[in-house]
Amino acid sequence: MFDLERWEEIFETIRKNKLRTFLTGLSVASGIFILVVLLGIGQGMRNGIGVQFEQDAANILYIWTNRTSVEYKGLNPGREIRLKNTDYQTTAQKYIDELEYKSAVYRIWNGVVTFKKESGSYRVEGVLPDYQFLENSTMTEGRYLNYTDHENYEKVAVIGNRVKNDLFKEADPIGKYVEISGINFKVIGVFTDPGGEREENRVYVPLSTGQRVFYGQNYINNMAFTLDKQDNFEAALAASNKFSSELEAFLKEQHSVAPEDDRAININNSLENAKRFYDLMDMIKYFFWGVGICTIIAGIVGVSNIMLIIVKERTREIGVRKALGAEPLSIVGMVLHESIFVTAIAGLVGLIGSLALLELVGPMIETEFITNPSVNFGIALTTVFILVIAGALAGFFPAYRAARIKPIVALRDE
């Protein structure tokens, strides 16, 4: 490897065939270039999907109920299951160390909201303060609900941006009273939501107030939880799957629902959904690897061809070397060395080129589906490894051929 003589020979043959070596190198360089850029785009898509899922808290679990579909313990199917405050409280208490945000939701149906002459039908929900983070709402004016509001059954409301625009136009809504189904609530805040208009079309009141004022008793419609952040996606997915299945079992037992009934208790695990997208991303990644590797193979075949020609051209020289005492292994080493050198240099150029491109152009790409395409160090290292293997493969057949040259035949070859 550090044999000066051999390096000299390699540079000599390269110098003699600049154009040919350049063109060969180009095919390898473009192969690596395409592979790394594709991988970068794959990563960018992954990042893009990640951003999409950050709009709602990424690892949110959403629980709602329905009618039972299976007869169980003498109870007829079609029985309506309704969650209660105790379901929420027990769960919140039991998983207090694992939950990040938690809230129960009581939905007020046909919530007609009126301010002076303006009125509209909006989705009105009684929620707990954590619900702000579960929905990723951001306050533009005033404040969100807090636990004091909840404990004191305050008649206060937080309205979405859309509601504000509909009812108040340009006026400042904070401190004003709106009527919700005929009962006055004081507006304390206006929120905006990354989910857009659809999610800004809502009005939130304290859960306790909602249940008391709108005859909800101790019933709730939904529960929403997020779990504490984990180091990686797999751990987060495992934690949320565990929580989800435990919670489902608990609720089914509480409400006498058959374990095999999959209609009565519903848990939407957003990480499960996310996983589908990540799996898709993985598929795309493998596809990109495949395309990239194929491109590199084309490059290798090019190098292999060139090396075959070089060996053919140097048949006589190889014969002389063998007559002078060169062992077959040293001839193999000579050819392999050159081919690995050419592929490695060309590949590094391609690698550096593609990394530079990703580095320069990557941060500028901010579409909905691709965010900051890049490759990490490990992938760069893998491609370098692939290069060396590729070089060795490209050189193998020519080297084998060279080693089998009989000096007597080579010397006769005028």
Partner 1 sequence: MIEIKDLHKSYKTGNNSLHVLKGINFNVAEGELVSIMGSSGSGKSTLLNILGMLDEADSGTYTLDGVPIKNLNEKIAARYRNKFLGFIFQSFNLINYKTALDNVALPLYYQGMKRKERIERAMAYLDKVGLSPWAQHHPNELSGGQKQRVAIARALASDPKVLLADEPTGALDTKTSYEVMDLIQKINEEGRTILIVTHEHDIAEMTKRIVNLKDGVIIDDKKVDQVKALQYV
The rounded distance, in Å, linking the Cα atoms of 298 and 31 is 8
The structure tokens listed for 344 are 């490695």
Q: Is 322 in the site for partner 1 (CB under 8 A)?
A: yes
| Contact call for residues 37 and 360 (beta carbons, < 8 A) | no
328: contact with partner 1 by CB under 8 A: yes
Nearest CB to partner 1, comparing residues 329 and 361: 329
Nearer to partner 1, 234 or 327 (CB): 327
Considering the complex, state which of residue 250 and residue 341 has its C-beta at the smaller distance from partner 1: 341
Rounded CA Rg of the chain: 34
Measured CA to CA, the distance from residue 297 to residue 323 in angstroms comes to 36
Indicate the helix (H) or strand (E) that contains 244: helix 233-254
Check binding of 406 to partner 1 (CB under 8 A): yes
Among 183, 283, 356, 408, binds partner 1 (CB under 8 A): 408
Measured from the CB atom, the residue of 202 and 322 that comes closer to partner 1 is: 322
Q: How far apart are CA 348 and CA 180, in angstroms?
A: 67
- Does 414 engage in binding with partner 1 (CB under 8 A)? yes
Q: Which of 10, 13, 258, 272 binds partner 1 (CB under 8 A)?
A: 13
Region binding partner 1 by CB under 8 A among candidate stretches 11-19, 40-48, 70-78, 201-209:
11-19
Name the residue nearer to partner 1 (CB basis): 12 or 172: 12
Which part of the chain contacts partner 1 (CB under 8 A), choosing from 158-166, 214-222, 243-251, 403-411? 403-411
Residue 201 pairs in a beta bridge with none
Enter the tokens of residue 285.
Answer: 């990644």
Looking at the chain, how many residues does it have?
414
Q: How far is the CB of 294 from partner 1 (least distance, A)?
A: 36
Nearer to partner 1, 175 or 325 (CB): 325
**Is 298 a residue that touches partner 1 (CB under 8 A)?**
no
Distance CA 157, CA 184 (A): 10
Q: Please, what is the Cα angle at 240 between 237 and 245, to 5 degrees?
A: 120
CB atoms under 10 Å from CB of 374, counted, come to 17
Our finding on whether 316 is near partner 1 (CB under 8 A) is yes
Does 313 bind partner 1 (CB under 8 A)? Our answer is: no
**Using CB under 8 A, which of 197, 327, 359, 366 touches partner 1?**
327
The two tokens of residue 24 are 């060969």
Pair of tokens at residue 20: 């040919």
Angle separating helix axes 85-94 and 233-254, nearest 10 degrees: 140
From the list 37-45, 66-74, 88-96, 404-412, the region that binds partner 1 by CB under 8 A is 404-412
Which residues contact partner 1 by CB under 8 A? Answer: 4-5, 9, 12-13, 16, 316-317, 319-330, 406-408, 411, 414
